[in-house]
Structure formats: structure tokens, C-alpha cells
Amino acid sequence: MKAVIIPLTLALSSLVITPAQAEPRHGVASHYIQGEGDVKGIKLAYQYYVNDYLPEQFSQFDVYFETSINFWRYGKDNQHDQNVVVALSPVFQYPMTTFKGRPLVLEFGIGVSLLDDTQFAGKNVSTHYQFEDRVGVVYKMENADIGVRYMHYSNAGFKSPNPGLDFISFSYTHFF
């Protein structure tokens, strides 16, 4: 299963295409993730902004696709559980206010993810396929963002049990 995860991440990131005349905006992000209990992890992500595809009535939104790989760990050094997750999420950002002259935005999205192991952190999440839900606040700087997000992984009740996994994410994104 792990041999499939990295090629799948690269394939998912190639699904997003920009118009020839557009100036694409790309970002790479790293997240520190803290989950319930003793779950810790990192998330490495590639962001691809697609604002040129939106109808004019949504011009205040920024929209990007995020392809990511997550490395989660639960437990102590000698007895730990780990999981690897790949995800693809469309994400919407809406300006709330400014702080020190820079935008502070509300972010939300629902994507799909593939977990390496359905048994993690003492939970049976039933399916390898999960939804990745997020809501957060992001501070936008010149060529970077910092953000805090609540993230929830769940199979939306397609199969029981469905306890879900909850995380808080602290992130830094650099744009190029």
C-alpha cells in the first residue's frame, strides 16, 4: 500500500490544469498536526490556485487545490502506531478583515483522502477512503501564509464504525 501512496500523490497533483493565458500561483506548505490523544504528525502539501475558473460572482474568493501527504504517529517511541495519508482537497478562502495591512481569510474545504491503515490511534475508521474536512484562519503575507485549521477525517457514515479523526493544524506556506 505504501508503494502506491507517493505515485498517487503525484498523479493527483497533475489533475489540475490552468488556462494557457493564466499566471498560475503555486505554493508548498508544511503543517504541524496535533490530534486528539497523543497523535502528532506532519503534512506536506502542494497548492495550486485556480481563481481564473471561477464565475465573476465568486471573485472575492481564492480557490486552490491542495495535494498532500500526511505522516501521523500515535503513542510512545517503543510502542507507536503510524499512518500515511494522501489527500486532494479543493479549498476556498474568503477575506474576513485585514491585520497590519494584510488579509486575514476564512478557509474551508472538503476533499478526499486515502489512509494507509484503517486501525489507528485505538480507533477503527472502517475504510481507507475518508473525507478531509477543514475550516481555518489564514494570514496572507507577500509570498507566504501562516494558518491554523481544524481538520476532520471521516467516511461520512458510509460504513460503521465511523468515529472520525480530529486534528488542529499549524501551517506555513511559501508561494512561487
Residues 6 or more apart in contact with residue 147 via CB below 8 angstroms: 107, 136, 137, 138, 139, 169, 170, 171, 173
The gap from C-alpha 102 to its chain's centroid, in whole angstroms, comes to: 23
Q: Are strands 39-49 and 80-99 parallel, antiparallel or unpaired?
A: unpaired
Distance in angstroms (rounded) separating the CA atoms of residues 74 and 12: 27
Q: How far apart are CA 100 and CA 163, in angstroms?
A: 40
Q: Which amino acid is at 4?
A: V
> How far apart are alpha carbons 108 and 149 in whole angstroms?
9
Q: What pLDDT was estimated at residue 16?
A: 43
Q: What is the largest CA-CA distance in the chain?
A: 55
Taking only the tens of pLDDT, the chain with its 176 residues reads 555 444 444 444 444 443 433 455 899 999 999 998 889 999 999 999 998 878 888 889 999 999 999 999 998 777 789 999 999 999 999 999 999 999 999 999 999 999 999 999 999 999 999 999 999 999 999 999 999 999 999 999 999 999 999 999 999 999 99
Q: What is the pLDDT of residue 18?
A: 38
pLDDT score of 167: 97
Q: How far apart are CA 140 and CA 47, in angstroms?
A: 14
pLDDT at 1: 52
pTM: 0.83
